[in-house]
């Protein structure tokens, strides 16, 4: 079981009107008050201001799901780091598999975003993960290592403390399939080894590595009980307080929660 602080983040993806987002945020603020872990929710861009006002002064951080690689300028349809900070955003999810595979973001672009976010004082959740074909070919660790190394290129030892890695096997996102706790922990351990090689053992021991991929109330405790798994990046189950709150309130090593 990890001795690092657990970090549970909810990615609402392209769901929720402002009214729906506000209702969910209010419910989570009430349910997670006094919670013992670190919490974040990442609404859609249109709901950031609404949700941010409700999270202000609570124990839940406001996150964004993506951001532009440029600080500002003629980039139609993009959202800048300056605009996110203006809304009270504290952290940004970068390199999510949907950005990589659907919107064709490559490692170089993701790295540019990572460095820009850090320059402006935002925390970063950097997502890495393999496809099913890559796993079947025995390339899972290599893919995650490559994405980690490239994603952190140019990130200093002083900045690594603002980085969280989220391991999300692409084949487990939104499919109902979940990597076994043992399989997930093995990849987390491999990523931690990479961090150690890049930044030293101290940084490797401290960095938080989340698991993402069909995390649910009935499997979260088993996942979090593993030595190298330090939290969760939750998708579908983050869209309802009745499923996200039990995940957020898990106790590692305890029987699975019932939603």
CA distances to 39, 43, 76, 112, 146 from 118, rounded to whole Å, are 19, 20, 23, 10, 20
CA distances to 43, 127, 220, 229 from 151, rounded to whole Å, are 23, 9, 27, 20
Candidate list 37, 96, 98, 130, residue with the active-site label:
96
Longest alpha-carbon distance in the chain: 52
Between CA 130 and CA 44 the distance in angstroms is 25
Strands (E), 49-111: 60-64, 91-94
Residue pair 211/179 in contact by the 8 Å Cβ criterion:
yes
Candidate list 123, 145, 168, 188, residue with the active-site label:
168
Q: Is 96 a catalytic residue?
A: yes
Q: Which residues are catalytic?
A: 96, 168
């Amino acid at each position: 079981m990890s001795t690092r602080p657990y970090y549970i983040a909810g990615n609402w993806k392209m769901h929720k009107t402002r009214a729906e987002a506000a209702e969910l945020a209010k419910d989570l603020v009430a349910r997670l008050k006094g919670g013992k872990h670190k919490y974040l929710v990442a609404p859609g861009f249109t709901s950031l201001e609404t949700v941010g006002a409700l999270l202000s002064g609570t124990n839940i951080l406001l996150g964004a799901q993506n951001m532009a690689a440029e600080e500002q300028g003629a980039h139609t349809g993009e959202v800048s780091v300056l605009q996110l900070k203006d809304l009270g955003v504290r952290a940004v999810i970068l390199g999510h598999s949907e950005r990589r595979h659907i919107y064709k973001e490559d490692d170089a672009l993701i790295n540019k975003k990572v460095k820009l976010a850090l320059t402006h004082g935002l925390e970063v959740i950097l997502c890495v993960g393999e496809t099913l074909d890559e796993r079947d070919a025995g390339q899972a660790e290599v893919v995650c290592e490559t994405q980690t190394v490239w994603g952190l290129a140019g990130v200093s030892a002083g900045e690594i403390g603002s980085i969280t890695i989220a391991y999300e096997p692409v084949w487990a996102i939104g499919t109902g399939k979940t990597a076994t706790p043992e399989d997930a922990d093995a990849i987390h351990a491999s990523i931690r080894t990479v961090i150690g090689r890049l930044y030293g053992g101290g940084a490797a021991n401290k960095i938080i590595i989340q698991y993402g991929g069909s995390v649910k109330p009935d499997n979260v405790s088993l996942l979090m009980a593993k030595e190298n798994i330090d939290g969760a990046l939750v998708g579908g189950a983050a869209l309802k307080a009745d499923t996200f709150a039990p995940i957020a309130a898990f106790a590692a090593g305890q029987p699975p929660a019932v939603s």
